[in-house]
Chains A and B, each alone.
Chain A
Amino acid sequence: MFARDAALAVAIATLATIDGTAAQTANQPPDTMAARVEACTPCHGNKGEGTSDVYFPRLAGKPAGYLYNQLLAFRSGRRKYPPMNYLLEFLPDPYLEAMAEYFASEHPPLPQPAPSEVSKEVLAQGELLATSGDAGRNIPACVSCHGPGLTGMQPGIPGLLGLRAAYVSAQLGAWRYGTRTAKSPDCMQLVAGHLTEADVTAVAAWLATRAAPTNPAPVPKGTYALPFGCGSQPN
């Protein structure tokens, strides 16, 4: 198993270096990652920018380690979305890593924030949770992990910008009901477990109103300390 993955890793590393300069032979598909992920782009957009479907997330620019963890979780069925579970079932680790790298390195502009459908009070509650948390209810501020600019941190913490409210609510709901889990200790499950329905609506709505920062790239590993440990973000 390890020997096989190592051999694949070499093959893939070799490909990654020629990728882009696409040695295209007649009658063969382009030898690029872009052509290899055409199965993904009707749902995630050509550069991973997302599509009009509010439940289909943007992938572009998220930390590669985070994207890779998600692909592993979809392949094993730990994170459930049958069409993706099916596509990934028989793809080896190094290839999933290459897909993650590919979408992490794409930088299409973030979408314009959509006008919000919730009241000012609800938005204010969302902002409070995201930026200060609620110590009385054991809810840490989202920014304490997702970063002051909400752009995430390499390698395992995703930014929370450019995601639509419906998607964020669905993910927080999935953690609360246990249908989405991350590597243990699953810190997001602890956080989501303390949120009420109303909290989820508020924070998801507020996040979706944020405009793109000048530099949306995730900050380097170790830029700030997390309030508690996360399995997806090794120290």
Chain B
Amino acid sequence: MGSRLSITLLSIKLLALAAALTTAAQAQDKTGDVIARGEYLARAGDCTACHTAAEGRLFAGGRPMPTPFGTIYTSNITPDPETGIGKWSADDFYRTMHNGRFPDGGLIYPAMPFASYTKVTRADSDAIFAYLRSIQPVNQKNKPHELRFPYDNRQLILGWRTLFFREGEFKPDPTKSAEWNRGAYLVEGLGHCGMCHSPINALGGTSQSDAFKGGLIPMQNWYAPSLTSNREAGLGDWSIKDITDLLQTGVSARGVVYGPMAEVVHNSLQYLSDEDTKAMAVYLKGISEPSPPPPASSALPTTESSLLISLGKTVYDKNCASCHGTQGEGKPPHWPPLANNQSIEMQSAVNPIRMVLNGGYPPGTKGNPMPYGMPPFAGLLSDNEIAAVVSYIRTAWGNRGTPVSAREANELRSAPLN
């Protein structure tokens, strides 16, 4: 009896969840509404980040994507019949999104995040397609990719697919709330957060079991932290408001976004509705795991690291304290706190070193149209001083990071800035 009831409840819940995902789709089937919804979903999928080139026409493609195997150029996805997707049907488009194949069955490179988009529902795929059909067609031929042998052979994608690609629409988890599931749908599907926030192996793939575990983004030299570990960007002990602030405005009382994550907020997340943002926050908070034990202590000899740290304090008081505060308290959200800031304590010190070398502005968003900035210190501080100040902020005020060496600082001076 009990189990039958719970099964019934479970299926009711499942139905409700499935409905929650598609109500919007069914309620408004008028063309204009579908197009508007498609535009919103294209924002959530951040199609523009890749399919619009700098100073190029919207969705006309041609943006270079450097990979370890050569350069891939994104495609024209405007409705131009010759050079875009003007001759495609909604089925063709769904096949690309869901299965990573061209209309003729050819294999698409996973630089197009179909491994995430496969989770997108048919109704949402159709809405995006309807929107793309409504924009200005641009006649612009796709640039051929410049991939090295043997990677120029698309048959190799088969191997990648066998290892890393699991086709299938999002399946709601009946034990979780509708809100959690909506968040999961967005994060795992259109948001393609896992494309960066996963360890990337030599093949450029993301394995399912490592999803959201964090990794160094190849070619860009930015570390996308784990979204599950509270020692990295796991959000288990963040308030929902701090998470929604971060995603919607780019700044929060706990920290700010920068580098590739600034792009995600700028092009995509700032446009999401309050409800969808909150759903993502609930889901992200939900997937954080209990923290593993702190990592092994630094590889640097202790005398060297204590010297570094005392030099670091001098550098900090002179160059950083005016904004970040003598105790690392900052003036949040605009001048972020450095004390108890996960993003500088992580095992990987790539991000804080690059932050000091390159400075930065959080993205200008509706919620924060005129962000405050941090100057680049690459030209002002030596490798030793950079290493010292980063070692200091990673270990001062109760922070539990480890010191870094001047060699690490030096290596990141040549990291690409775009």
Verify if A190 is at the interface (C-beta below 8 Å from B): no
Cβ contact within 8 Å between A86 and B366? no
A186 at the B interface (CB under 8 A):
no
A121 CB → nearest B CB, Å? 36
Bound-complex Cα distance A4 to B2 (A): 54
**What distance in Å separates the Cβ of B322 from its nearest Cβ neighbour in chain A?**
9
Identify which of A76-84, A198-206, A223-231 touches chain B: A76-84
Q: B369, B371, B373: which contacts A11 (Cβ < 8 A)?
A: B369
Q: How far is the CA of A28 from the CA of B169 in the complex (A)?
A: 45
Q: Residues of A within 8 Å of B, CB-based: how many?
A: 34
User: Measured between alpha carbons, how far is A87 from B378 in the docked complex, in Å?
Assistant: 13
Is A22 on the interface with B (CB-CB < 8 A)? no
Closest partner residue, chain B, to A99 (CB atom) = B370
Across-interface contacts of B262 in A (CB, < 8 A): 89-90
Near A by CB (< 8 A), chain B positions 258-276 give 262-263, 266
Interface positions, chain B 352-380, Cβ under 8 Å from A, are 358-364, 366, 369-376, 378-380
Contacts of A87 in B (CB 8 A): 359-361, 373, 376
A95 CB–B CB distance under 8 Å: yes
Q: How large is the interface on B (under 10, 10 to 19, 20 to 34, 35 or more residues)?
A: 20 to 34
Q: How far is the CA of A65 from the CA of B154 in the complex (A)?
A: 49
Asked if residues B360 and A98 are in contact (CB atoms below 8 Å), the reply is no
B371 touches A91 (CB 8 A): yes
- Is B156 interfacial (CB-CB < 8 Å)? no
With beta carbons under 8 angstroms apart, the residue of B364, B376, B378 that contacts A95 is B364
Among B54, B363, B375, which residue has its beta carbon within 8 angstroms of that of A38? B375
For the complex of A and B, 9 pairs with smallest distance between CB atoms: A39-B373, A90-B363, A90-B266, A92-B364, A82-B417, A86-B417, A8-B369, A42-B375, A39-B375
Task: List 26 contacting pairs A-B, 8 Å CB cutoff, sorted by A.
Answer: A8-B364, A29-B323, A29-B334, A36-B372, A38-B323, A38-B372, A38-B375, A39-B372, A39-B374, A40-B375, A42-B375, A43-B379, A77-B54, A77-B418, A78-B54, A78-B55, A82-B417, A83-B358, A83-B417, A87-B359, A89-B418, A90-B362, A95-B364, A95-B369, A95-B370, A98-B370
